Amino acid sequence: MFVFLLCLVCLSSGQAKARYDWRLSKECTPSGSNLHDFKIRNVTEDAEIDFRLLTGGKLTLIVNVATYCEYTSQYLELNDLQKKFGPSGFQVIGFPCNQFNKEEPGSKIEILNGVLHVRPGKGFVPNFPLTRKVDVNGKEQHAIYTFLKNACPVSPQSLFAKREQLYYDHLHVNDIRWNFEKFLVSPSGAPLRRYHSSIKPSQLEGDIEQFLLFSSFK
């Protein structure tokens, strides 16, 4: 019921406040699973991320990230979102993935060194957790992405990239199309919206403010 009311709010008033083309996001439908049911190793694979502990009661933004992508500069704005909204109950989580034009070739500490020294570079350190490198599409996709795509089956990007840029088999209509696609998940663990890769994190501030406001009345 809570998610339904939030969606109604988005459709009625949030559209006017959105800082992006509304057609570049799609509403999700609650499914039986819950984000808080999942666990995954962190980027260096030396600790476990328990989503019930990390995201329980928090509005969460999930992003599949890559170091050598045209959208890698979005890392900077993801840090800004975490800094601005984190104290209000908001959490960003990045999922490194190498399935799109092989733009995340490193692993473990190589990923952290890549964002530190190359892109975005200049000493950049994410202020939010990165998971181990995962597949977001195909037969080896992580269960979290199966869950997200089942709840949000309509992609905000209709076209696929060139086939030679996609490193997985068996394309499906609900596939992640490229790096930096985003999912906003409610404090209760239900996916709310799915966003096109080109939408900058700063353009989501209106949606985040709305969802945080209404979650405070739950």
Q: Is residue 55 part of a domain?
A: yes
CA separation, residue 158 to residues 23, 154, 172, 174, 175 (Å): 11, 9, 11, 10, 10
E strands of 12-151, at which residues? Answer: 25-27, 39-41, 48-50, 59-65, 90-96
Structure pTM?
0.92
Nearest to 203 by CA among 26, 20, 74: 20
Q: Mind listing the pLDDT tens digit for each residue in 136-178? A: 999 999 999 999 999 999 999 999 999 999 999 999 999 999 9
Q: Which helix (H) or strand (E) holds 213?
A: helix 205-215
Q: What is the pLDDT of the chain when averaged over all its residues?
A: 93
CA dihedral 153, 157, 163, 164 (to 10 degrees): -120
Nearest to 160 by CA among 171, 149, 152, 150: 171
**Selected catalytic residue, list 28, 69, 97, 152:** 69
Q: How many domains does the chain have?
A: 1
Q: Do residues 151 and 30 lie in contact, with contact meaning Cβ atoms separated by under 8 Å?
A: yes
Per-residue pLDDT band for 214 (boundaries 50, 70, 90) equals confident
Q: Which residue has the tokens 């964002």?
A: 115
Residue 104 sits in which domain range?
2-155+165-215
Q: Domain holding 76: CATH number?
A: 3.40.30.10
Q: What is the CA radius of gyration of the chain?
A: 16
Spatial CB neighbours of 215, under 8 Å, sequence gap ≥ 6: 2, 6, 59, 89, 186, 187
Report the pLDDT averaged over residues 10-36: 77
Q: Is residue 139 part of a domain?
A: yes
For residue 106, what is the DSSP state?
-
Is 28 assigned a catalytic role?
Answer: no
Q: Is residue 196 part of a domain?
A: yes
Q: Mind listing the pLDDT tens digit for each residue in 106-126? A: 999 999 999 999 999 999 999
Q: Which residue has the tokens 């952290």?
A: 112
Q: Is residue 160 part of a domain?
A: no
> What's residue 98's pLDDT?
99
